[in-house]
Amino acid sequence: MSDIDDKARRRRNLAVALALGALVVLFYIMTMVRVHP
């Protein structure tokens, strides 16, 4: 695998991690909104 491919893969992994992190935060906020309207 070339350096460019390796970088592309790392960026994809980072994007997936950020998306999952954002989902966790979103679920937390929505749960709080629902529990304490």
CA 27, 28, 29, 31 torsion: positive or negative?
Answer: positive
Residue 6 C-beta: closest distance to other proteins, Å: 8
Q: Per-residue contact track with other proteins, 1 to 37, x per CB under 8 A?
A: x--xx--xx-xx--x----------x--xx--xx---
Q: Which lies closer to other proteins via its Cβ, residue 8 or residue 24?
A: 8
Residue 1 C-beta: closest distance to other proteins, Å: 7
The CA distances from residue 13 to 4, 6, 27, 28, 32, in Å, are 14, 11, 21, 23, 29
